[in-house]
Amino acid sequence: MFLCRAQEYLIILYHFFSSRTPACMPVPTGDTRVLGTNFLGLNEDVLIQIFEELRPHQNLRPLSLTCRPIREVCMNILFRNCSIESKMLSSGRAQFLPESLWEYVRCVVPSGLKRFIALMLYSVLQLSGSFDHKSMSELRDWESTPTNHFQAEDDAGIVFVENLQQLPLLDTVHIESYISYPLEITQSKVVPLPILLAILSVPRIRHFSCFGYLCHPSDPILESIQISLPHVASFKYYLPDFRPQPRRYASEVALLEILIPKLHRNLEVLVLPIEHTPLQQLPRRDWPSLRELVLYGGLGAPPTTPYISILARMPKLRALHLHLACNFGYGPQPIWPSGLSVGFPWPELKSLTVMNPHPGDQLWKHLPRSMRLLILQCYPRFWEYQHGHQRLSNLWKARVHWRAPLPSASEMLELLRSCRTPGLRQLEIEYRADSSEEALLLHIASAFPSLEVLDLCRYRPVDSPELSLVCGRQIYDSLC
**pLDDT for the residue numbered 360:** 92
- C-alpha gyration radius of the chain: 27
45-89 pLDDT per residue, tens: 777 777 777 777 777 777 777 777 777 777 777 777 777 765 665
Residues of the chain with pLDDT under 50: 1-7, 11, 14-36, 92, 94, 113-152, 181-187
Which parts of 306-424 are beta strand (E)? 319-324, 326-327, 351-355, 373-377, 402-403
**pLDDT for the residue numbered 383:** 74
Distance CA 191, CA 212 (A): 10
In this prediction the pTM is 0.75
**pLDDT for the residue numbered 20:** 39
**pLDDT for the residue numbered 356:** 93
**pLDDT for the residue numbered 131:** 37
Distance CA 245, CA 171 (A): 35
94-116 pLDDT per residue, tens: 456 777 777 777 777 766 544 43
Task: Using the CB atoms, write b or e for 374-403: b if 16+ within 10 Å.
Answer: bbbbbbbbbebeeeeeeebeebeebebebb
Angle 193-200/149-164 helices, nearest 10 degrees?
20
**pLDDT for the residue numbered 234:** 96
Distances (CA, A) of 43 to 17, 19, 288, 315: 9, 10, 38, 40
* CA neighbor of 232 nearest in space, from 205, 261, 212: 205
**pLDDT for the residue numbered 145:** 39
**pLDDT for the residue numbered 76:** 78
Which stretches of 301-361 are DSSP H helices? 307-310
User: Reduced to 3 states, what is the DSSP secondary structure of residue 452?
Assistant: coil
Looking only at the bridges linking them, the beta strands covering 189-190 and 172-176 are unpaired
* CA neighbor of 128 nearest in space, from 186, 178, 180, 174: 186
DSSP state of 408: B
